[in-house]
Structures are given as structure tokens and as C-alpha cells.
């Protein structure tokens, strides 16, 4: 399928403008793109979908799905492609290695970084706060009604890749993970924290457009080493850098 060539070249090593239409003149058919809940993913997916529709004649369907649910759709035919996958070795083992319903279509050209971040004003005011060993010293400052006696560590959508609850426990930090619920809510919290000089420690990631507006500062967690996150309940290290890749349904790749 020509759409398959488009996915392989999109956002990665090839030029999507070079993707040719089917030589026999047949239509591309249905092309189901999963939409995971963050704006960078959505933008990339719509670029691929636009080219597939206008240049290849595909009937593009966008499916708004959480990450793990999208992988389930590979076997049912509901999903043809995940444009931006962040790691998920567990899902690769299940759906690629064990079930064979999905295939790795290669990098999309981006390196993903996940971590704990602070608004710039806090780093200027408290320079040593970027070292994880010092967080307990400031924990009281981060208390909210939702975190109780502990400081709040604000995460985003509960479906995002996160080790934060294990990290808080294993690093003996006096913090409680609280979920903002979505990427827009997380961004708004950081924006408000910087504008109003309010304390905030939160999960965030790059690449992300918001960092060009508010240059959040990453906390130095214990360095990542190979295998330090093998046991999800015992994680006590930083997140690795993720080579973001594309995942496609086996049925789609072979069509």
C-alpha cells in the first residue's frame, strides 16, 4: 500500500513528497491513524493524514485513543498506525513479539525527553532546587489541598509514560503524585506558576512547543543507566532518552 511507504518516510528519514501514488491507479482505501492525547502527536498525525488523503486518495480516519488502547487496535483493524511512540517496551513485547499484530516502522526523527521540571522563577530564587536530593527541603512549599502533608508532584494525563509514583517512593521524597488530567491542564499549571510566581514541580517532556514560551528547568534525578527501570516498582533513576518511533499494524504493513 502506498500509505505504508508514506508512514515509513513521514517524520523520519524520507521525504513525504517523494511518496508515489499506486501505479495501478487504485485507491489507497481506509487509513486509520491513532491520535494520542498530546498536541505534538496530533500535529504530526494530521500532516501524514493530509498527504495520504490529498496525494494518495486515502479515506483517512482519526481515532482519538490513549496509548495502550491504540495498540490494542492493531489486531482488531481499528488502528493502522501510531505516529509517535514513546518507548513502551512492554507493549512492543506483547503486540510485536508475542501477538505479531504490530511492526516497528522506524524512528520518526525526534528524541523524546521526560522528567521533572520547575518554572524558571523558582530556579532563580532557589538555585539548588534542581538537585533531587534537595527536594525534601522544599517539599512544604509545594503542598496543595490534593497532596495533603506532602508536596505535590503534578503529572499530566494518567495514560502518559510515567515512573513518578515509584520514583517518589524509592527516592524517599515527601511528595505525592497528583494528576492534572491532560496536557492542556499541565501546560496551564506551569504557565500560571511562572506568571504568578507560584511553586510547582511537575512532569513534562520535550519536544514540546510550550518550552519555547516558558523555558522550564529540568530537575537532575539520579542518572539513567541501562536496566535501572527494568522493574517498574523499583525505579530510582531518571528517564532515558527515547528514540521516538512509528508503529504500524502488521495487516496494514502487509497490505
CA 159, CA 61: separation in Å to the nearest integer?
A: 22
H helix or E strand, kind and range, residue 193 = helix 183-195
Give the domain ranges of the chain. Answer: 2-109+244-253, 112-234
**3-class SS of residue 184:** helix
127 cis-preceded (ω within 30 degrees of 0):
no
Tell me the three cell numbers of residue 78.
481499528
The correct CATH number of 2-109+244-253 out of 2.70.70.10, 3.40.50.300, 3.40.190.10, 1.20.950.20 is 3.40.190.10
Where does 112-234 sit in CATH, by number?
3.40.190.100
Nearest to 40 by CA among 180, 234, 204: 204
How do the pLDDT tens digits run along the chain, 255 residues long? 545 545 544 554 444 344 444 444 456 789 999 999 888 899 889 999 999 999 889 999 999 998 889 999 999 999 999 999 988 888 999 999 999 999 999 998 899 999 999 999 999 999 999 999 999 999 999 999 999 999 999 999 998 889 999 999 999 999 999 999 999 999 999 999 999 999 999 999 999 999 999 999 999 999 999 999 999 999 999 999 999 999 999 998 887
DSSP category for residue 22: P
Nearest to 30 by CA among 62, 7, 5: 62
Would the CATH topology of 2-109+244-253 be identical to that of 112-234? yes
Amino acid at each position: 500500500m502506498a500509505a505504508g511507504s508514506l508512514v515509513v518516510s513521514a517524520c523520519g528519514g524520507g521525504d513525504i513528497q517523494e511518496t508515489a501514488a499506486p501505479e495501478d491507479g487504485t485507491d489507497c482505501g481506509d487509513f486509520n491513524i491513532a491520535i494520542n492525547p498530546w498536541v505534538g502527536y496530533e500535529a504530526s498525525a494530521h500532516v501524514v493524514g493530509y498527504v495520504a488523503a490529498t496525494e494518495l486518495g486515502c479515506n483517512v480516519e482519526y481515532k482519538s485513543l490513549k496509548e495502550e488502547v491504540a495498540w490494542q487496535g492493531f489486531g482488531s483493524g481499528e488502528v493502522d498506525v501510531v505516529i509517535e511512540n514513546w518507548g513502551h517496551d512492554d507493549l512492543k513485547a506483547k503486540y510485536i513479539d508475542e501477538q505479531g499484530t504490530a511492526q516497528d516502522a522506524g524512528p520518526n526523527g525526534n528524541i523524546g525527553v521526560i522528567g521533572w521540571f520547575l518554572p524558571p522563577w523558582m530556579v532563580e530564587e532557589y538555585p539548588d532546587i534542581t538537585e533531587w536530593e534537595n527536594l525534601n527541603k522544599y517539599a512544604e512549599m509545594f503542598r496543595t489541598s490534593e497532596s495533603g502533608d506532602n508536596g505535590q508532584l503534578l503529572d499530566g494525563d494518567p495514560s502518559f509514560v510515567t515512573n513518578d509514583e515509584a520514583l517518589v517512593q524509592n527516592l524517599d521524597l515527601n511528595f505525592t503524585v497528583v494528576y492534572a488530567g491532560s496536557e492542556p491542564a499541565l501546560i496551564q499549571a506551569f504557565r500560571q506558576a511562572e506568571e504568578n510566581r507560584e511553586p510547582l514541580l511537575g512532569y513534562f517532556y520535550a519536544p514540546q512547543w510550550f518550552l519555547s514560551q516558558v523555558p522550564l528547568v529540568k530537575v537532575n534525578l539520579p542518572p539513567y543507566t541501562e536496566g535501572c527501570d527494568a522493574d517498574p516498582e523499583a525505579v530510582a533513576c531518571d528517564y532515558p532518552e527515547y528514540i521516538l518511533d512509528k508503529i504500524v499494524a502488521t495487516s496494514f504493513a502487509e497490505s
